[in-house]
Structure 1
């Protein structure tokens, strides 16, 4: 390991069938999420595989796709606004000293193949392409499992490997001069409801208390549902949380909050986020107990 979760790349992953374009994931026999590998989307949305819809075990939808306020939000995905100057987040690009600007620099995450593939998850190989070439190669692992009669866990790990041979620099609007906008990495867009969801976490209550913090976990509680997000390893827990509730409901783990993340030539950055998906509005004690179980099981 080489600082902030960066390691040297290993050998190539095992190849397998390219797999289905939409994969249904199940917990205890119940469908809880659909994973789309090759979405037909405008280049401005930075096309990428995503999970949507995601539901609780009782069938309450807890993800949002192409919302009117931010049409480039794609359910649950890995999205980064600045990878070597290319936008893999979608929407406007924030350029240093220029503000939000429309640039034709959007990238695409291309599904290459599945490794292990089943109703409880998969491993996947992807290429991040922009400007006529591949800037990153990714190995993604996703697993779902039951926690309780009313809760399940989504475990997402991703390893981003430099494909340029020269190293890759990952940034965000915050590292380009826009304080507070440190989004980029794992991101979950939740449904917008008449009232903003309640936000709480290990560090306190309210959006202001948890946004930008490094608490072990943060939670959104909406109408009949709760999502609890946790970094599942030391490097991921060192990344601050990006949290929105009043403007729109969304939570992410920020790869580039205060400074850019530098992946050296041939190096790999690894992160893992586990999310508890629960029916009802959990209190702090129950949220903490479930997320501990989810991370350690």
Structure 2
């Protein structure tokens, strides 16, 4: 059964949340739009069919793939493996027009690896911008320790992706990307920063870590190959999740009409994170 939730802000629809209980499935937001109605997410793009709008995707949880597509194997490269897990929707704790609270089970081989508590909320920032507040906690409810990895920890330099991930629309021209530290993909990819902005044709997204631990995660950024921004739970080393432990992250994203400059992006982040 397909599970959906509609997200509104300032009385306008800004997102659709969908869960498809298929092998390798995970819930995701798509389409997400600006207040003016411009789409800022993409679903199943031809270049990466497993990219699903805005979601939490991790390529290696105790050897299981919760990202989709092929798995990077050390000394072998990207390999098609029968190791895909599913993020199973367990139920809603709250479901309102401007947000929801959800419980999920991360399962592989009929075993629950992690239990997730997810909170998503929309808040108006101005007539042309709103904020998506997305937090998730992953708890190891089993009796054995496990860890989270990435292609980088498995031997592929620079590919530390895994965690919150946003796939933006692919347009004829690559989007601009910048942070408080510099401009361009090389300046922001793989670096920790308070926020990272991506601007396309008539839209800007500004991603901000909203907790101390989240701000320590480097950003994973792509512009030329495809437009996407995400966090890196395991950028250089595997992230241990001992039995009974919980990993918590919170990312607030500003979704704005038009192209913001650095000063405007930073100002919106200050408002969004403290709202």
1:50 equivalent to 2:28? Answer yes
Q: 2:9 aligns to what?
A: 27
* Whole-Å separation in 2 of the counterparts to 1:269 and 1:40: 24
What residue number does 1:75 align with?
Answer: 53
- Root mean square deviation of aligned Cα: 1.1
Tell me the distance in 2 between the aligned counterparts of 1:270 and 1:98.
32
What is the Cα deviation at residue 163 of structure 1? 2.8
- TM-score, structure 1 normalization: 0.91
Q: Paired residue for 1:94, among 66, 72, 83?
A: 72
Residue 213 (structure 1) aligns with: 191
The number of residue pairs the alignment matches comes to 275
Cα displacement (A) at 1:202 = 1.3
Following the alignment from structure 2 to structure 1, what is the Cα–Cα distance between the partners of residues 177 and 102? 32
Contact 1:81-1:171 within 8 A present in 2 as well: yes
Is 1:136–2:98 an aligned residue pair?
no
Task: Give per-residue Cα distances to partners, 1:62-86, cap 9 Å, x unaligned.
Answer: 0000000000000000000000000
Structure 1: 5+ residue stretches without partners: 1-17
Q: Report what 1:241 is aligned to.
A: 219
Q: C-alpha distance in 1, partners of 2:170/2:120?
A: 25
Contact kept, 8 Å, 2:21 with 2:88, in 1: the verdict is no
Are the counterparts in 1 of residues 114 and 138 from structure 2 also a CA contact under 8 Å? yes
Q: 1:179 maps to which residue?
A: 157
Between the aligned partners of 1:101 and 1:131, the Cα distance in structure 2 is 19
Q: How does 1:86-125 map to 2 (within 5 A)?
A: 86-125=64-103
Q: Which runs of 5+ in 2 are unaligned?
A: none
Distance (whole Å) between structure 2 residues aligned to residue 21 and residue 131 of structure 1:
22
Note if contact 1:186-1:273 (Cα within 8 Å) is conserved in structure 2. Answer: yes
Q: What's the CA shift string for 1:123-156, capped at 9, x where partnerless? A: 1100001012111100000000100000000000
Which deviates further from its counterpart, 155-164 or 267-276? Answer: 155-164
Matching residue within 145, 150, 153 for 2:131: 153
Taking structure 2 as the reference length, what is the TM-score of the superposition?
0.98
- Whether the aligned pair in 1 keeps the contact of 2:194 and 2:208 (CA below 8 Å) is yes
Whether contact under 8 Å (1:64, 1:74) holds in the other structure is yes
- Asked if the contact 1:203/1:213 (under 8 Å) is kept, the reply is no
